[in-house]
Amino acid sequence: MRFIEKKIYFIYVLLGFFYFISKLIYYIPGWVCLGGLILGFVAAGLTILIGIGSFKEYKKASRPIAHWWAVIGPLIIILYSPFHMTIRMGIPVFQFPMEKFTILLIFECLAIAQIILSVLMHKELMLKHRLHITRKQNG
* pTM for the full predicted model: 0.83
**In angstroms, how far is CA 24 from the centroid of its own chain?**
17
Q: How many CA atoms lie within 13 A of 74 on its CB side?
A: 27
Residues whose CB is less than 8 angstroms from the CB of residue 26 and which lie 6 or more positions away in sequence, other chains included: 32, 36, 99, 103
pLDDT in tens, the chain (139 residues): 565 667 888 999 999 999 999 999 999 999 888 988 999 999 999 999 998 888 877 666 556 677 788 889 999 999 999 998 898 888 888 888 888 899 999 999 999 999 999 888 877 776 666 666 676 677 6
Q: What is the pLDDT of residue 61?
A: 58
* CA pair distance 5, 121, nearest whole angstrom: 7
